[in-house]
Amino acid sequence: MNLYIKRIPEKKANLIILPESMLRVGEIIPRRMILHAGMWKYEVEVEFRNDLPENTIGFSSTLKIPFDLPEQLPYEVKIKDRNLYIGPIIAFLAFTETKDITSESLNEYLGNFSSYSDIQGLIYICAANGIDAFNQTSEGYYYDPAANEDEPTFKYGKFPYPNVVFCKIDINRPEYDQMIAAFGQNMFNTYLSDKWELWEWLSPYTFLREHLPYTDLLNNVQDLEDMLCKYEAVYIKPIETGEGKRLLKVSKTSEGYCLVDKLSEKICFSSSVEAGEFLSVLLSNETYVVQQAVSTKNYEDRIIIFRVIMQKKSSKRWACSYIIACFGEIGSISANYNRSGIVLTGRETLRKVFRMNEREVFLKEQEMIDLCQAACKTLEHSGGNYAELCIEIILDENLKLWIIEINHSLDHKLLLYSDRQLYLKVNAIPLEYAKSFAGFS
């Protein structure tokens, strides 16, 4: 049942008033209940009145609530035993500092609210340093679907700890520990595994292990030597995920070692001593892994990486929302997208580049989805609660699938101009999951 909050003049400080129409034949509703708003709860007295509109829940004007519950928003109200729940209350943790929240940065999240009419409740955007652990409140900006053209869509307020926190930023370990202490399992997309953890978590499972390039920590030149004895070429990658990180492809030649970076610039060493000195400098600033280089099928000397976007809907099950293929720069060892790159749908790429017929395309896409579902389930059991993940896959020359990386920071911007309807749909899906996760449906 969806209701609007209305303050009603009453002397009782803990009174909640419900429309008499909520009383059903044979149903007994307690007259003292626990009111829940997000993680906040408070015991209240309950009265039923026939002069209260059916779409209204009355709060006594003297009821003290230590935060804002905007009255123009439609809330879902649920009664279970002696508990009265009002919500859902969902927080987007989208910024690290409140100073970074501007009208422009808030408007970048408008796409996430395209299906608000199906979600309803209080949804606000906040920053990590705007969370008050002592009072269990958060300052932020809530989405107002009824805002006029001459007023902001997002409005400032102080809100209760939510039912669910959707983390949209990478947070450091101290902040992560604080968030887990505050929200526990009610926060999702929090922990982003690094490349070594990803290997440790997924490789013990035979089915997944067959689709993972062999990976090891890089401590010295001997680790590099050992890998080059097994494989013709290897990648040296920063242990942390994320685009913009330094990436090197290494092969051993008759003249020594040849290292190629993302800009196709070569660094050559004639001996393991020289290579070891280079690695010592490299490893002094950051931790790296060394990984088997898979021989991929390229297009016009461009590396192709398929990005499989996996999301949870209200059913709480993993499903594929879309697959795109990113083509790197000509001659580059990376397929990270930039203006000189190419982006096509996964299906179009399999059809045109890999010369597959419709049946082959369907089977290969299904193979990708099955692999990604297994990876999502395993990753979730190993590392935390996730609502959406981007799994990067390459196909080798025999069309075998290899998982290269998994990310949880998605913006779907590559869809914005090519398929705006899909862009709005996939941005809204995490809110559907958040509402279901919060116990509202």
- Would the CA dihedral through 249, 251, 256, 258 be positive or negative? negative
Q: Tokens representing 57? A: 């829940």
Mean pLDDT score, 414-425 = 83
Mean pLDDT score, 37-62 = 92
Close Cβ partners of 225 (under 8 Å, ≥ 6 residues apart): 272
Which range (3-7, 110-114, 188-192, 364-368) has the least confidence?
A: 188-192
Which range (44-48, 131-135, 263-267, 272-276) has the least confidence?
A: 263-267
User: What's the CA gap between 87 and 431, in Å, rounded?
Assistant: 13
Report whether pLDDT(24) > 80.
Answer: no
User: What's the CA gap between 438 and 356, in Å, rounded?
Assistant: 43
Mean pLDDT score, 327-337 = 75
Looking at every residue in the chain, the average pLDDT score rounds to 89
- Would the CA dihedral through 397, 400, 401, 404 be positive or negative? negative
Report whether pLDDT(244) > 60.
Answer: no
pLDDT for the residue numbered 245: 65
Q: Across the strands, what pairs with 123?
A: 90
Report whether pLDDT(331) > 70.
Answer: yes
> What's CA 87's distance to the chain center, in Å?
22
Residue 396's SS3 state is strand
Q: How many CB atoms lie within 10 A of CB 429?
A: 20
pLDDT for the residue numbered 120: 93
Report whether pLDDT(424) > 70.
Answer: yes
- Return the H-helix or E-strand segment holding 103: helix 103-107
Amino acid identity, residue 33? M
Close Cβ partners of 330 (under 8 Å, ≥ 6 residues apart): 300, 301, 302, 340
pLDDT for the residue numbered 382: 84
Q: Closest by alpha carbon to 17, among 5, 26, 28?
A: 5
Q: Tokens representing 71? A: 């009255």
Question: φ, ψ for residue 240 (rounded to 5)?
Answer: -75, 145
Mean pLDDT score, 337-358 = 85
Q: Give per-residue burial for 312-337: e unless 16+ CB within 10 Å, then b.
A: bebeeebebbbbbbbbbbeebbbbbb
User: What's the CA gap between 385 and 176, in Å, rounded?
Assistant: 13
Amino acid identity, residue 111? G
**Are the CB atoms for 347 and 364 separated by under 8 Å?**
no
User: What's the CA gap between 217 and 239, in Å, rounded?
Assistant: 8
Q: Closest by alpha carbon to 166, among 111, 99, 241, 91?
A: 91
- Return the H-helix or E-strand segment holding 83: strand 83-87
pLDDT for the residue numbered 121: 96
Amino acid identity, residue 415? L
